[in-house]
Amino acid sequence: MSNSILRGALGLLLAVLHATATAAPTLTNGGFESGLAGWTVADQAGGDGTFFIQSGTQTPLSDPAFPVAVPAPPEGSNAAMTDAFGPGAHLLYQDFVASPGVAVLNFDLFILNGGGEFESPDSLLFDLTDIVGENTQNQQIRVDILLVSALLDPFSVDPSDVLANLFITLPGDVPPDGYTTITHDLTSLMGSHAGQTLRLRFAETDNLGPLNLGVDNVRFDDRNTVPEPATLLLAAAALAALAGTLRRR
Tens of pLDDT along the chain (249 residues) come to: 555 555 555 555 555 444 444 578 999 999 999 999 999 999 999 999 999 999 999 999 999 889 999 999 999 999 999 999 999 999 999 999 999 999 999 999 999 999 999 999 999 999 998 766 788 999 999 999 999 999 999 999 999 999 999 999 999 999 989 999 999 999 999 999 999 999 999 999 999 999 999 999 999 986 544 444 444 455 555 555 555 555 555
Per-residue confidence (pLDDT) for residue 59, from 0 to 100: 98
Q: Is 204 exposed, middle or buried (0-12, 13-18, 19+ CB in 10 A)?
A: buried
Do 55 and 97 fall within a single domain?
A: yes
pLDDT at 98: 97
User: Are 170 and 229 within one domain?
Assistant: no
Mark whether 38 and 158 lie in a shared domain: yes
CATH code (residue 149): 2.60.120.200
Amino acid at 188: S
Same domain, 158 and 236: no
Task: Render 120-182 in DSSP notation, one character per residue.
Answer: --S---S--B-TTSPBPP-EEEEEEEEE-TT---TT---TTTEEEEEEE--TT--PPSS-EEE
Whether 185 and 246 map to the same domain: the answer is no
Domain identity same for 113 and 146: yes
pLDDT at 6: 52
**Are 4 and 106 found together in one domain?**
no
- 122, 7: one domain: no
Domain extent, residue 118, equals 24-223
CA angle at residue 91 from 88 to 95, to 5 degrees?
A: 170
123-159 residue pLDDT tens: 999 999 876 678 899 999 999 999 999 999 999 999 9
The answer to whether residues 137 and 236 belong to one domain is no
Residue 100 and residue 195: Cα distance in Å, rounded? 9
122 and 42, same domain (yes or no): yes
The count of domains in the chain is 2
Q: What pLDDT is attached to residue 157? A: 98
pLDDT number for residue 133: 75
Residues 114 and 48 in one domain: yes
Q: Are residues 87 and 62 in the same domain?
A: yes
